[in-house]
Amino acid sequence: NAGVTQTPKFRILKIGQSMTLQCTQDMNHNYMYWYRQDPGMGLKLIYYSVGAGITDKGEVPNGYNVSRSTTEDFPLRLELAAPSQTSVYFCASSPLGDTTQYFGPGTRLLVL
Partner 1 sequence: GQQLNQSPQSMFIQEGEDVSMNCTSSSIFNTWLWYKQDPGEGPVLLIALYKAGELTSNGRLTAQFGITRKDSFLNISASIPSDVGIYFCAGRGMTGGGADGLTFGKGTHLIIQP
Residue nearer to partner 1 on the CB measure, 33 or 64 = 33
Report the residue number, 3 or 17, with the smaller CB distance to partner 1: 3
* Residue 92: closest CA among 21, 9, 3: 3
- For the CA atoms of 45, 70, 11, 81, the dihedral, rounded to the nearest 10 degrees, stands at -60
Residue 69 amino acid letter:
S
User: What track of x and - describes contact with partner 1 for positions 51 through 90 (by CB under 8 A)?
Assistant: -----x-xx------------------------------x
By beta-carbon proximity to partner 1, the closer residue of 14 and 97 is 97
Instruction: Give the contact letters, 27-46, x = binds to partner 1 (CB under 8 A), - = no.
Output: ----x-x-x----xxxxxx-
Q: Rounded to an integer, what distance in angstroms lies between the CA atom of residue 55 and that of residue 108?
A: 23
